[in-house]
Each structure stands twice: as C-alpha cells, then as structure tokens.
C-alpha cells in the first residue's frame, strides 16, 4: 500500500487552526502527529489560540504573559512588533 500524499501547507494550516472537536478522527490524528514532530508549530498554535481568545473577549489581561512567551518562538517578530506599538494596542 502506497503512503497517502502529504497535505498541502494550506490544508495543514486550516487543520491546525481548527477547533479539535471539529476535526475528523483522521485529521485529529494528523494534527497530533504534526504537534509531536514539530513542537515549535504546536507552541505557535497555542500562542495564536491565546491571541485569538484575547481579541474575541476584548480583554488585555493576558497580554503581558503573551508578549513574553513568543520571544523565542515562530511568533517572536510579531510579538516584538506588538510590544513596540503597545500604546496602540
């Protein structure tokens, strides 16, 4: 049996940004495998989820910890830009 074709970057991004309870069992398993294989992606996804939560609730109570967490992550430059323009945020 031949291995299945890997998902495109767009498909993977959609799966990783979808709520886990909305994924099919096969898609949930794929996300778990990606999380285990690429911990930096899993950490970035957690940071994005936390940012979305703050934006949806219109609350800045978690902003300070959020700004310090991504310093060495894939979202480091994004967080630095927000910190630099914190007055506007």
77 part of a folded domain: yes
13 part of a folded domain: no
Tell me the pLDDT of the chain (89 aa) as tens digits. Answer: 546 788 899 999 899 888 889 999 999 999 999 999 999 888 888 888 888 888 888 888 888 888 887 777 788 888 888 888 877 76
21 part of a folded domain: no
Half-sphere exposure of 59 (CA within 13 A, CB side): 6
71 part of a folded domain: yes
50 part of a folded domain: yes
Q: Are 16 and 44 in contact (CB under 8 A)?
A: no
6 part of a folded domain: no
Full domain range(s) for residue 31: 26-84
Confidence at residue 29, expressed as pLDDT on a 0 to 100 scale = 92
Q: Tokens at residue 51, please?
A: 């940012």
60 part of a folded domain: yes
8 part of a folded domain: no
Number of domains in the chain: 1
pTM of the model: 0.70
């Amino acid at each position: 049996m031949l291995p299945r074709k890997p998902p495109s970057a767009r498909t993977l991004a959609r799966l990783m940004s979808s709520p886990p309870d909305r994924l099919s069992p096969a898609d949930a398993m794929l996300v778990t495998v990606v999380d285990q294989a690429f911990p930096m992606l899993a950490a970035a996804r957690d940071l994005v989820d936390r940012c979305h939560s703050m934006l949806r609730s219109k609350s800045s109570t978690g902003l300070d910890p959020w700004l310090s967490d991504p310093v060495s992550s894939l979202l480091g430059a994004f967080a630095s830009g927000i910190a630099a323009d914190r007055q506007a945020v």
